[in-house]
Amino acid sequence: MKRILVTGGAGFIGSHLCKRLLDEGNDVICLDNFFTGCKDNIRKLLSNDHFELVRHDITKEYYAEVDQIYNLACPASPPHYQYNPIKTIKTSVLGMINMLGLAKRCKSVILQASTSEVYGDPAIHPQVESYWGNVNPIGIRSCYDEGKRCAETLMMDYHRQNGVNTRIVRIFNTYGPNMDMNDGRVVSNFIVQALKGEDITIYGDGTQTRSFCYVSDLVEGMIRMMNNSQDFIGPVNLGNPSEFTIGDFAKLVIKMTNSNSKLVYKPLPKDDPCRRRPDISEAKRILNWEPKVSVEEGLAKTIKYFEQKIKEFN
């Protein structure tokens, strides 16, 4: 049995990761400041003796004895990370330094939840790990993009300078149950709008693309990366290569929810990337990982989750 720290464990991805790690017989410390996460996501885990919930902010030091650290703490939705951009960059940079200090002291393996945003508005397609990206350093997305890029730099420098055992995964758009209904990301927005019969808000003309990965596939990839025996430190892309235009994705959600919602067009947020699709050859070759859940299958489960949430709120 390992003792595993999951920062951001009460968030969307973190809550699935905590559950899976507990199911595999580990001791899990879930650390969260509840900025975008919530107790509902982990309520069922609270009765498990091997689960410990800690309210803490990773911009402050944290001490525990752990074998592994999954560092997920950071708001992921653009409206949330732009709400307090200085806090967002502090979370990525100071938080990363604190977690790397912990990993160094405990000699634990640390995995950083990085992002496809390190590629910015990519000039090459699909995105490969060797691509250095096209990121605006002074725009409204920079607090997140540059924060995550700096976190990757810190991971590599602690690895080279201090021999810390690091792993970087670059996560592409992931969705599933436990996403916050109001967090403003495209999957939750479209499904909730469709289920409520409200207008579906397409930003821009809807020709920009994203590739959507179901959360159980992502969690499997993260765990394989953490435990891979080849000392492969990454960075490695984790995502589902099935790429949709946002317009087509809206139509798919309308079809799958049998909704009468209409499409409405809103201004495209500044620096919104035009295209995004992961090249996952590295993950396939080294981790023997690829997504198993089709977008239709994953969407059906997510729609069911939001139907239930909407009922609870009414």
**List of residues contacting ligand NAD (CB under 6 A):** 7-8, 10-14, 32-37, 57-59, 72-76, 91, 95, 113, 115, 171, 173-174
- Respond yes or no: is residue 144 known to be catalytic: yes
The yes or no reply on residue 240 touching ligand UDP (CB under 6 A) is: no
Count CA atoms closer than 13 A to 54's CA, side-chain side: 17
The owner of tokens 């920009």 is: 208
Which stretch, 39-47, 149-157, 196-204, 230-238, contacts ligand UDP (CB under 6 A)? 196-204
Cβ atoms of 244 and 208 closer than 8 Å: no
Least distance to ligand NAD from the beta carbon of 262, Å?
27
The yes or no reply on residue 189 touching ligand UDP (CB under 6 A) is: yes
Q: Which is nearer to ligand NAD, 259 or 299 (CB)?
A: 299
Pick one of ligand UDP, ligand NAD, none as the site partner of residue 269 (Cβ within 5 to 8 A by kind): ligand UDP
**Beta strands 236-238; 166-171: pairing state:** parallel
Least distance to ligand UDP from the beta carbon of 246, Å?
5
Least distance to ligand UDP from the beta carbon of 106, Å?
32
CA distance linking residue 199 with residue 215, whole number of Å: 26
Among 62, 70, 144, 214, which one carries the catalytic annotation? 144
Pick one of ligand UDP, ligand NAD, none as the site partner of residue 275 (Cβ within 5 to 8 A by kind): none
Q: Single out the residue of 149, 159, 210, 224 in contact with ligand UDP (rule: CB under 6 A).
A: 210
Which residues have a catalytic role annotated? 144
